[in-house]
């Protein structure tokens, strides 16, 4: 309760300082005030525009994340469990991985056109590697004694060992990977939308309002982007801890 | 019956050195016999147990259980590890049902069997607890139940009580004897403790320092329950300590 109070006070003081600073500067294009941003926000909400932008961006995000999970986790499992596969695939991954996701934008558009799939692809590139690497590490770090316990209890086949022992043991690491991947993926949303794949979208609107010098709108969309990321992250953490990893001591993700 | 003939095992280190872990091991263990392995650290007793479990392969020699050569882990041998080896994502009950799930025994039946074994180790109240909620001694009791539920002929125990405090250890030794008398299994039990060996064993196998050979096999015919400080127990203990002392000195030199 006291912590809550402190948090609220901290946010309130930041808003007050922001408001005062904005009024001293008195130039909307340099720093719109809190009240101006608040008014812009209410306007966007009442027109239903913010809702449509959010849905559009979340749609790209879901495409990208869905693909990243569908590719990253199985690939991480294969690389973590089968040494030969790891040795064969790892060099390729190590070459592709350092390429910044945004560098893929041009090819994304060439391949998928100006569609939601182009945006989804960029988000996928950003999110897939943290998921892959964490899944891989989780599998590699499966305690030997658990694998051997499984073996002496009759769990011999690779498929059984993977799904009954290594995968549950790696779940905390995989959850961390998905969480980090979501963070990177959300950053890629803004960049992916830059290229006018739609006339809606939180990232696209930043550029749209920027070109019209409506900085109160720009700041509103920035804050909404941050807020949504925060909500997604909190929600994911809650789900993981309450459902997935209830068996764990303490907090890992 | 468990029979080991002319068994040898050498490890190759990464530097290219050879470490002879076991040299010319010959040992017969009768059914329902409780045998303790004792010897200096690194004398290969764990290796011998792991080979018996099927987790490692000997370089030469044969190891048979009921005249069947050991090819890998099998349901005729159960193992309790020195480290805590319960699956942390499974409840106590689900840890015990693990091997029964693999055998495709229906849920209600396997849970009934598991509950019976939980009662044997005195942990019925903790069926739905997760391993992290248990003390070290309780974890090992669950591990024993998990190994026994498979109904193995041979129970392999690698210093299972090494990590618990002295009082708990005494109690666990009593419980092990109770279980052993009820279930009548052949038990191979590694220990560092001469007291433990004298209290538990029908037969104590003393190993030499590296390379691991069998130095002597001592039969203990004292009736159970044994008085830890009786004259006879003290005599055996003294003999073992002297025998072991020479080996530990050799290991240091």
Residue B67: inside a domain, yes or no? yes
Which chain B residues are closer than 8 Å to A146 by Cβ? 85, 87
* Residue at A28 is within a domain: no
Say if residue B1's pLDDT is above 80: yes
The predicted model gives B220-227 an average pLDDT of 89
Q: What is the mean pLDDT of residues B139-162?
A: 94
Q: Give the pLDDT score at A234.
A: 94
Predicted pLDDT at B14: 85
Count of helix runs (H) and strand runs (E) in chain A: 11, 0
**Chain mean position to CA A201:** 16
Nearest-CA residue of chain B relative to A164? Answer: B98
The pLDDT of residue A249 is: 64
Task: Please name the residue of chain B whose CA is at the shortest distance from the CA of residue A167.
Answer: B89
In this structure, is residue A60 part of a structural domain? yes
The complex's ipTM?
A: 0.91
> Looking at beta carbons, which residues of chain B come within 8 Å of A143?
83
Cα(A117)–Cα(A123) distance, rounded to whole angstroms? 10
- Provide the CATH number for the domain around residue A149: 1.10.3720.10
Q: What is the mean pLDDT of chain B?
A: 92
Domain that holds residue B72: 1-76+154-162+186-253
Count of structural domains, chain A: 1
The pTM score is 0.88
Buried residues in A22-49 as b, exposed as e (16+ CB within 10 A): beeeeeeeebbbbebbeebbeebeeeee
Residues in A touching B147 (Cβ below 8 Å):
152-153
Determine, for residues A154 and B99 on separate chains, whether the beta-carbon distance falls below 8 Å.
yes
Find the CB nearest B99 among A153, A165, A169: A153
Closest CA to A65 of A119, A135, A138: A119
Residue B119 domain-assigned (yes or no): no
- pLDDT of A197 reads 75
Backbone angles phi, psi at B72, to 5 degrees: 180, -175
**A236, burial (CB in 10 Å: exposed 0-12, middle 13-18, buried 19+):** middle
Are B146 and A171 within 8 A, CB to CB? no
Confirm whether B34 is domain-assigned.
yes
Within a domain: residue B112? no
Q: Quick check: is B31 in a domain?
A: yes
Q: Does any domain span residue A188? A: yes
For the stretch B47-59, pLDDT in tens is 999 999 999 999 9
The chain B residues in contact with chain A (CB within 8 A) are: 53-55, 72-75, 77-79, 81, 83-85, 87-91, 98-99, 102-103, 130, 132, 146-147, 150
Q: Is residue B91 in a domain?
A: no
Q: Does residue A251 sit at the B interface (CB-CB below 8 Å)?
A: no
Question: Taking CB atoms and an 8 Å cutoff, what residues of chain A touch B102?
Answer: 153-155, 160, 164
Which residues in B lie closer than 8 A to residue A151 (C-beta atoms)? 54-55, 72-73
Query: B69 Cβ partners below 8 Å, 6+ apart?
Result: B62, B63
Cβ separation B98–A148 shorter than 8 A: no
In chain A, residues 148-167 whose CB comes closer than 8 Å to chain B: 148-156, 160, 164-165
Q: What is the pLDDT along chain A (253 residues), one digit of tens a residue?
A: 788 899 999 999 999 999 999 999 988 889 999 999 999 999 999 999 999 999 999 999 999 999 999 999 999 999 999 999 999 999 999 999 999 999 999 999 999 998 999 999 999 999 999 999 999 999 999 999 999 999 999 999 999 999 999 999 999 999 999 999 999 999 999 888 887 778 899 999 999 999 999 999 999 999 999 999 999 999 999 998 887 777 876 444 3
Give me B23's structure tokens.
Answer: 């040299």
Tell me whether residues A152 and B98 touch, CB distance under 8 A.
Answer: no
Distance CA A70, CA A65 (A): 8
B40: pLDDT strictly greater than 70: yes
CA distances, B233 to each of B178, B181, B210, B245 (Å): 20, 20, 28, 18
Domain count, chain B: 1
Measured N-to-C along each axis, helices A215-239 and A202-211 cross at an angle, to the nearest 10 degrees, of 170
Residue B72: inside a domain, yes or no?
A: yes
Structure-block tokens of residue A38:
């608040």
**Are A171 and A146 contacting, i.e. CB atoms less than 8 angstroms apart?**
no
Residue A142 within any structural domain of the chain = yes
Cα dist from A152 to A155, B100, B137, B138, B163, whole Å: 7, 13, 21, 20, 21
- The CATH number of the domain holding residue B41 is 3.40.50.300
The C-alpha atoms of residue A166 and residue A219 are separated, in whole angstroms, by 45
pLDDT at B27: 95
B23 assigned to some structural domain:
yes
* Residues near B246 by beta carbon (within 8 Å), at least 6 away in sequence: none
Q: Given an 8 Å threshold on Cβ–Cβ distance, is A152 in contact with B77?
A: yes
Nearest chain B residue (CA) to A148:
B55
Instruction: Please give the structure tokens belonging to residue B243.
Output: 């025998």
The reported pLDDT for the residue numbered A248 is 77
Q: Does B85 contact A169 at a Cβ distance shorter than 8 Å?
A: no
| Digit-coded pLDDT (tens) for B76-135 | 999 999 999 999 999 999 999 999 999 999 999 999 999 999 998 889 999 999 999 999
Q: CA-to-CA distance for A17 and A31, rounded, in angstroms?
A: 12
Return the number of CB contacts < 8 Å for A and B: 69
Interchain proximity B150–A165, CB inside 8 Å? no
- Strand order of the sheet with strand B214-219? B77-80, B154-158, B186-190, B34-38, B203-207, B214-219
Query: What is the extent of the structural domain holding A169?
Result: 55-198
Are B87 and A149 within 8 A, CB to CB?
yes
Q: Which whole-number Å values give the CA distances from A227 to A120, A126, A224, A234, B56, in the listed order?
A: 21, 20, 5, 11, 54
Residue ranges of the alpha helices (H) in chain B? 45-53, 92-102, 107-120, 136-148, 166-183, 194-200, 231-252
For residue A68, is it within any domain? Answer: yes
- Please choose, from the candidates B24, B27, B21, B29, the residue with its C-alpha nearest in 3D space to the C-alpha of residue B7: B24
| pLDDT at residue number A244 | 77
Q: What's the CA gap between B202 and B199, in Å, rounded?
A: 9
- Range with lowest mean pLDDT among A135-144, A145-154, B62-71, B242-251: B242-251
């Amino acid at each position: 309760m006291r912590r809550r109070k402190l948090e609220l006070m901290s946010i309130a003081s930041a808003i007050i300082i922001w408001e005062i600073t904005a009024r001293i500067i008195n130039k909307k294009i340099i720093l719109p005030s809190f009240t101006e941003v608040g008014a812009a926000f209410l306007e966007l909400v009442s027109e239903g525009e913010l809702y449509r932008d959010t849905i559009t961006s979340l749609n790209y995000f879901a495409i990208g994340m869905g693909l990243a999970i569908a590719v990253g986790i199985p690939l991480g499992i294969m690389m973590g469990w089968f040494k030969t596969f790891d040795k064969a695939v790892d060099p390729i991954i190590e070459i592709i991985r350092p390429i910044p996701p945004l560098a893929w934008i041009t090819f994304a558009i060439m391949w998928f056109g100006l569609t939601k799939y182009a945006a989804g692809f960029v988000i996928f590139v950003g999110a897939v590697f943290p998921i892959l690497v964490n899944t891989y590490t989780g599998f590699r770090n499966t305690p030997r004694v658990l694998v051997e316990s499984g073996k002496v209890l009759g769990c011999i086949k690779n498929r059984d060992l993977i799904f009954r022992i290594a995968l549950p043991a790696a779940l905390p690491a995989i959850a961390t990977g998905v969480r980090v991947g979501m963070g990177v993926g959300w950053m890629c949303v803004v960049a992916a939308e830059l290229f006018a794949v739609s006339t809606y979208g939180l990232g696209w609107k930043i550029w749209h309002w920027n070109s019209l010098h409506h900085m109160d709108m720009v700041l509103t969309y920035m804050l909404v982007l941050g807020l949504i990321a925060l909500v997604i992250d909190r929600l994911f953490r809650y789900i993981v801890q309450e459902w997935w990893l209830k068996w764990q001591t303490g907090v890992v993700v | 019956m468990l029979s080991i003939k002319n068994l040898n095992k050498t490890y190759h280190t990464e530097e290219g050195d050879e470490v002879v872990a076991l040299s010319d091991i010959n040992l017969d263990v009768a059914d329902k016999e409780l045998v303790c392995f004792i010897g200096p650290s690194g004398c290969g007793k764990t290796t011998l147990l792991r080979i018996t479990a099927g987790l490692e392969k000997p370089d030469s020699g044969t190891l048979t259980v009921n005249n069947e050569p050991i090819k890998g882990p099998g349901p005729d041998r159960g193992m309790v590890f020195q480290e805590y080896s319960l699956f942390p994502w499974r409840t106590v009950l689900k840890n015990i049902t693990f091997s029964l799930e693999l055998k495709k025994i229906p849920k209600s039946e396997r849970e009934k069997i598991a509950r019976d074994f939980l009662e044997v180790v005195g942990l019925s109240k903790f069926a739905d607890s997760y391993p992290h909620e248990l003390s070290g001694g309780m974890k090992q009791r669950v591990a024993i139940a998990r190994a026994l539920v498979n109904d193995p002929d041979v129970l392999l125990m690698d210093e299972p009580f090494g990590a618990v405090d002295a009082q708990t250890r005494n109690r666990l030794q009593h419980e092990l004897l109770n279980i052993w008398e009820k279930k009548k299994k052949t038990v191979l039990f590694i220990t560092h403790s001469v007291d433990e060996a004298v209290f538990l064993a029908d037969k104590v196998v003393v190993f030499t320092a590296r390379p691991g050979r069998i130095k002597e096999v001592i039969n203990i015919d004292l009736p159970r329950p044994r008085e830890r400080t009786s004259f006879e127990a003290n005599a055996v203990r003294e003999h073992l300590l002297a025998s072991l002392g020479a080996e530990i000195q050799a290991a240091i030199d």
